[in-house]
Amino acid sequence: MGRKEVVEMARQELRVGFIGLGIMGEPMVRNVLKAGFPLTVFNRTSAKTERLRDEGAKVANSPAELGPDSDVIVSCVSDTPDVLEVILDPQHGVIAKVRDGTTVIDCSTAGPDAAKQCDQALREKGAAFLDAPISGGDVGARDGTLSIMVGGDRGHFDRAKPVLEAMGKTITYCGQCGAGYITKLCNQICGAINLLGVAEAISLATAAGIDTEAMVTAVSSGAAGSWMLTHLGPKMLTRDDSPGFFVDYQLKDLRIASDAAHSLGVPLPGLGLAEAMFRAASAGGHGRDGTQAIYHVLEKLRGG
Amino acid sequence: MGRKEVVEMARQELRVGFIGLGIMGEPMVRNVLKAGFPLTVFNRTSAKTERLRDEGAKVANSPAELGPDSDVIVSCVSDTPDVLEVILDPQHGVIAKVRDGTTVIDCSTAGPDAAKQCDQALREKGAAFLDAPISGGDVGARDGTLSIMVGGDRGHFDRAKPVLEAMGKTITYCGQCGAGYITKLCNQICGAINLLGVAEAISLATAAGIDTEAMVTAVSSGAAGSWMLTHLGPKMLTRDDSPGFFVDYQLKDLRIASDAAHSLGVPLPGLGLAEAMFRAASAGGHGRDGTQAIYHVLEKLRGG
């Protein structure tokens, strides 16, 4: 039997449990279903699970109940406390009934300390934890083109890979437990500081009264070019605050990054500044606007 | 006579004077020669002018002497004081003998106040000033693929465009006098803050002991991706400080940007921080290293 057949067999055998049918989770679950994995879902509110039942999924009443029917359990919730609750709650969490050999994968953005807690607790039950945060937005979740950054046991990663491949396109193994979360936090740090740079360039150009569109085009083509400048620069210019990624989510992620930097003893002045600027955007009523709304903060600072 | 012919005629008629045969200026001059413009050059030290004389250029003994023989005078020097000197020095500067109708183009990175001074003085002589800073590095200068950002009189811009096109690929008209310098400063702000974000992400990843190469690859492919991350991130990982663009040049440009922001009353906290970090890199002995050497500062901050 060749490698391809083994993977195909593994795919057919892997029964998947899924926790969290939010803006990311729901389309991810649909791609898992489409790929042919036997699926059981849990969501805090049940409206969405009913629709999935019609599409062939089984429905569980708690994360714990996924245990007996799942070889791989995927969670996709909001924040570190939610991750800890759905996985570690002794009564309703995954930990309560998880089977020996199960791979538990969390796709939320959380801190490396949470990864270590989950890893340790699941290990005691013979299961494993992979931290596997995602990026690519709701569009990536729908199209199955997410980028997934994974930390944890390599054997469990290899086994669960077909499930990850059903949800994402670029699957990167980043190292031991917590490496996935750290990579995602690096992504958030890099992107947030980058966006601050874009907003400051636009702030100066606007105050100077030059052709801001020409500036964005000229800068995009060179060494200062970036995804943020190309995609969010024009939105700043047209004062379009429509969200691709909420200011409040960015702020939550920077807070987690900041905690991780604190734990590791890493001074990151740009992160501190970016966090303050996004906090100001949120305080200014832009929490549910897209991250480009950070330009409002600079506008206010210059008396606008 | 069609537009093409008019442009061709204009090209043949435009006699070019060039000031500053540095790492950028020398290859730019070669491209002006190659395009067939009659050329006179001036450089502070004469070794380089002799070589160009062999290639068909005339040589002047001062910027002033370029005046009688030039329809377009291009300068490419280091800093704002150099720009003011070669253009405005009453005895040796361009201003001394510039003819009515001449277009004076400065390709240095300087501040908008300098543009206004040059513009005003040259206007009084019937000449015009275009601020036209460049980006793309020595490779772009050699290959004629520079990005050139131009501010000033539109008519003079249109007339001088064939000369700009001999030196660069992306020629952007950014607005009135000073708009070119401002656009370049926006470029430097955007790029420097962006690079700080890259360095901070790498600092956290390194301290956490994850696979930093996998991190850079994963982050590059998404919304936090940028030229800086793709091109300078890997250099930080391999501790390769070889210069594409010197820390000290970056610092000089950020200083000019900071002055411009001050003049315009624009608070730019990220710029302030980036300037401090590049100043620390320079103070740490990395002035002649590439800008990626900013990671040394973060390394020091975390006790490395």
User: pLDDT at position A10, please?
Assistant: 56
Can you say whether residue A131 is alpha, beta or left, with left for phi > 0 and alpha for psi between -120 and 50 degrees?
Answer: beta
What distance in Å separates residue A186's CA from the closest CA in chain B? 4
Q: Which of A184, A235, A252, A300 is catalytic?
A: A184
What are the chain A neighbours of B303 within 8 Å (beta carbons)? 265
Contact A176, B205 (CB under 8 A): no
Does the structure show a pLDDT above 60 at B286?
Answer: yes
Domains of chain A: 3-176 (3.40.50.720), 183-301 (1.10.1040.10)
Of residues A6 and B100, more confidence is placed in: B100
Does the structure show a pLDDT above 90 at B4?
Answer: no
Does the structure show a pLDDT above 60 at B108?
Answer: yes
Does the structure show a pLDDT above 50 at B1?
Answer: no
Q: pTM score, two decimals?
A: 0.92
What distance in Å separates residue B56's CA from the closest CA in chain A? 33
**What percentage of chain A carries pLDDT values higher than 70?**
96
What is the rounded distance in angstroms from the CA atom of residue B135 to the CA atom of residue B180?
A: 11
Binning pLDDT at 50, 70 and 90, where does residue A5 land? low
Q: Are the beta carbons of B192 and A197 separated by less than 8 Å?
A: yes
Query: Which among B197, B214, B277 is the nearest to A173, CB-wise?
Result: B214
DSSP labels, chain B: --HHHHHHHHHHH--EEEE--STTHHHHHHHHHHTT--EEEE-SSSHHHHHHHHTT-EE-SSTGGGGGG-SEEEE--SSHHHHHHHHH-TTTSGGGTPPTT-EEEE-S---HHHHHHHHHHHHTTT-EEEE--EESHHHHHHHT-EEEEEES-HHHHHHHHHHHHHHEEEEEEEESTTHHHHHHHHHHHHHHHHHHHHHHHHHHHHHHT--HHHHHHHHHTSTT-BHHHHHHHHHHHTT----SSBHHHHHHHHHHHHHHHHHHT---HHHHHHHHHHHHHIIIIITTSBGGGHHHHHHHHTT-
Q: Which of B184, B235, B252, B300 is catalytic?
A: B184
Pair type for strands B146-151 and B134-135? antiparallel
Query: Which among B170, B217, B226 is the nearest to A194, CB-wise?
Result: B226
What is the rounded distance in angstroms from the CA atom of residue A11 to the CA atom of residue B276?
A: 53
Mean pLDDT throughout A203-220?
96
Low-confidence winner among A91-105, B133-147, B269-283 (lowest mean pLDDT): B133-147
Mutate which of A113, A157, A183 to disrupt the B interface (most B C-beta within 10 Å)? Answer: A183
Does the structure show a pLDDT above 70 at A274?
Answer: yes
What distance in Å separates residue A46's CA from the closest CA in chain B? 32
What is the rounded distance in angstroms from the CA atom of residue B162 to the CA atom of residue B103?
A: 13
Q: Within 13 Å and on the Cβ side, how many CA atoms surround B56?
A: 12
Query: Which among B112, B223, B267 is the nearest to A191, CB-wise?
Result: B223
On average, the pLDDT of chain A sits at 94
Residue B122, SS3 per DSSP:
helix
Residue A40, SS3 per DSSP:
strand
Helix axes of B112-123 and B80-88: crossing angle, nearest 10 degrees:
0
User: pLDDT at position B138, please?
Assistant: 86
- Interface size A-B, in CB pairs within 8 Å, comes to 263
Does the structure show a pLDDT above 70 at A237?
Answer: yes
User: pLDDT at position A1, please?
Assistant: 46
Of residues B304 and A299, more confidence is placed in: A299
Tokens 């003085």 belong to residue: B121
Binning pLDDT at 50, 70 and 90, where does residue B304 land? confident
**What percentage of chain A carries pLDDT values higher than 90?**
90
Q: Are the beta carbons of B210 and A277 separated by less than 8 Å?
A: no
Query: In DSSP terms, which residues pair with A175 in a beta bridge?
Result: A151
Give per-residue pLDDT as tens, B190-219.
999 999 999 999 999 999 999 999 999 999
Mutate which of B135, B143, B185, B194 to disrupt the A interface (most A C-beta within 10 Å)? Answer: B194
Mean pLDDT throughout A8-28?
86
Give per-residue pLDDT as tens, B163-178.
999 999 999 999 999 9
Does the structure show a pLDDT above 70 at A4?
Answer: no
What are the chain B neighbours of A179 within 8 Å (beta carbons)? 208, 210-211
Tokens 């049918």 belong to residue: A21
Does the structure show a pLDDT above 80 at A121?
Answer: yes
User: pLDDT at position B13, please?
Assistant: 81
Give per-residue pLDDT as tens, B67-76.
999 999 999 9
* Selection from B85, B70, B87, B81 nearest residue B32 by Cα: B70
Tokens linked to A86: 């759905």
Identify residue B187 by its one-letter amino acid code. Answer: N
What distance in Å separates residue A304's CA from the closest CA in chain B? 10
Does the structure show a pLDDT above 60 at B124?
Answer: yes
* Selection from A60, A179, A65 nearest residue A116 by Cα: A179
Closest-approach residue (CA) in chain B for A245: B223
Question: Has A169 been annotated as catalytic?
Answer: no
Give per-residue pLDDT as tens, B22-57.
999 999 999 999 999 999 999 998 888 998 999 999
Mean pLDDT throughout A124-146?
94
User: pLDDT at position B56, please?
Assistant: 92
Q: What is the ipTM of this complex?
A: 0.92
Give per-residue pLDDT as tens, A57-71.
999 999 999 999 999
